[in-house]
């Protein structure tokens, strides 16, 4: 169990992944990276984006929406993103 927690602690956070993607984009847009480096950065960025999307999907599952009933009571409903948000 200690190994599982240690592995989870070493896993980068969503914010760290996003920051790395931003650095990769900056490097690619600068035009200073050679072809091999660019391909490696692209592949790394694609994996990071995939991980970020998975994290966001998991977060959406955990969000509940509070709605007020006609009687003024609050009830919880599962969060369902609008179509335009889901497509992005």
- How would you label 72-87 residue by residue, b for 16+ Cβ within 10 Å and e otherwise? eeeeeeeeeeeeeeee
CATH number, domain of 65, equals 1.10.287
Domains in the chain, number: 1
Owning domain of residue 69: 2-87
Contact partners, residue 12, CB within 8 Å, separation at least 6: 20
Cα three-residue angle 71-72-75, rounded to 5 degrees: 100
Whole-angstrom distance, CA of residue 10 vs CA of residue 73? 43
17-66 residue pLDDT tens = 999 999 999 999 999 999 999 999 999 999 999 999 999 988 888 777 76
pTM of the full structure: 0.66
């Amino acid at each position: 169990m200690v190994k599982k927690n240690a592995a989870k602690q070493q896993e980068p956070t969503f914010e760290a992944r996003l920051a790395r993607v931003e650095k990769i984009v900056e490097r690619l847009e600068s035009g200073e990276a050679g072809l091999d480096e660019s391909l490696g950065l692209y592949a790394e960025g694609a994996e990071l984006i995939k991980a970020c999307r998975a994290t966001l999907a998991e977060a959406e599952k955990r969000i509940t929406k509070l709605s007020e009933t006609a009687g003024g009571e609050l009830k919880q409903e599962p969060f369902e993103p609008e179509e335009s948000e889901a497509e992005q």
